Amino acid sequence: MAKKRILSGMRPTGKLHLGNYVGALENWIKLQDEYQNYHLVADYHVLTTDLSTEEIYQNTLEMVTDWLSAGLDPEKSPMFRQSQIKEHTELFLIFSMLITKARLERNPTLKEQVRDLNIENLVYGHLGYPVLQAADILLYKGDAVPVGEDQLPHIEITREIARRFNTQYAPNDPVFPEPEGMVTNFARLPGLDGHRMSKSLGNVILLSDDAETVKQKLRKAVTDPQKLRKNDPGRPEVCLVFTYHNKFNPEEIPVIEKDCRSGVLGCVDCKLNCASKINTMLVPILEKRKTYEKNINLVKDVLNEGEIKAKVIARQTMNEVHQKMKMG
């Protein structure tokens, strides 16, 4: 039986942070044998946060370098830019007829954007954001979409659009699957200040940070505010560093929990330990990154080859869509 397909993507905002890694990328890598993966650089979606295009390509290369360094294998997982496959915009247009304006206005991520942006700056593309995302996913007939938790509303909209298309144009022989969102336990790894990890908040650990940087950053991480002195008893359940231990140092969790509560373990040592675990995980990634940094053409080639493969699938799907719509 053919492998099920994964389609997932990220907006190119440059170097990735640990939140991007544990929320999505790590999962992509784990699943690349079991599924047929496709990964897109959402370089049109990124226009919804910044219209200037000067840095998109550079940011794309940085991000794909991180994908590759972390272990995404271009042979198994083609990687490509959304802007290079015209079928995304074509399917987006068709899909935009299949979902109501009211439904898109109820999308919770739109509401967040309205809050973050000045309301007058809201454009038509913001409303259509999940429609383009649905086109991204369904163009490759993605069965599963491993993403951060924040993206689940978009997967729901994708499922609705798939259903709508199938009922309208292909009632006996559905064209599109209804994709499932796949969320990890750490889909929302908090930043060093305890808030959402985000580059704009300056609270991130990058996948490309060296050991010393990680150590310095962790030193400033928030812990239990009631644990003021080294031997005060602490409350792991409110401590950010404990959350990181959960993810990056699961074996020592019982000891850390006990020693933090009893006051034997101070925050400085606890943080040093955590930094060293994160660094151990990052070593091979940093090592691999050097190869790509020395020869960025390797990354460009990965994209070019990924785009050739993606186009084949995209054309097939669009042919099918046009046939079902009697526009073939």
Rounded (5°) CA angle 270-194-281: 50
Torsional sign, CA 285, 308, 137, 300: positive
Q: How far is residue 176's CA from residue 317's CA, in Å, rounded to a whole number?
A: 9
Nearer CB in complex with ligand TRP: 110/147: 147
Site for ligand TRP in 226-245 (CB under 6 A): none
The continuous run of DSSP H or E covering 272 comes out as helix 267-294
Interacting residue with ligand TRP among 5, 45, 126, 245 (CB under 6 A): 45
Site for ligand TRP in 103-122 (CB under 6 A): none
User: Could you tell me which stretch among 61-69, 143-151, 210-218, 229-237 binds ligand TRP (CB under 6 A)?
Assistant: 143-151
Binding to ligand TRP by residue 42, rule CB under 6 A? yes
CB 169 → ligand TRP: shortest distance, Å? 22
Helices 297-324 & 124-139 angle (0-180, nearest 10): 90
Q: How far is residue 42's CA from residue 81's CA, in Å, rounded to a whole number?
A: 7
Cβ-proximal residues to 5 (8 Å cutoff; 6+ apart), any chain: 35, 36, 37, 38, 140, 141, 142, 143, 144
Binding to ligand TRP by residue 9, rule CB under 6 A? yes
User: Could you tell me which stretch among 64-72, 132-140, 207-215, 293-301 binds ligand TRP (CB under 6 A)?
Assistant: 132-140
E runs forming strands in the chain: 5-10, 36-41, 79-81, 144-146, 180-182
Interacting residue with ligand TRP among 60, 133, 166, 243 (CB under 6 A): 133
Binding to ligand TRP by residue 136, rule CB under 6 A? yes
Interacting residue with ligand TRP among 61, 99, 137, 157 (CB under 6 A): 137
CB 132 → ligand TRP: shortest distance, Å? 7
- Say if residues 94 and 321 touch (Cβ distance below 8 Å): yes
Binding to ligand TRP by residue 27, rule CB under 6 A? no
Nearer CB in complex with ligand TRP: 145/275: 145
- Counting residues that bind ligand TRP (by CB under 6 A) gives 13
Nearest to 106 by CA among 157, 45, 38: 157
Binding to ligand TRP by residue 69, rule CB under 6 A? no
Interacting residue with ligand TRP among 5, 6, 7, 221 (CB under 6 A): 7
Interacting residues with ligand TRP (CB under 6 A): 7-11, 42, 45, 133, 136-137, 145, 147, 151
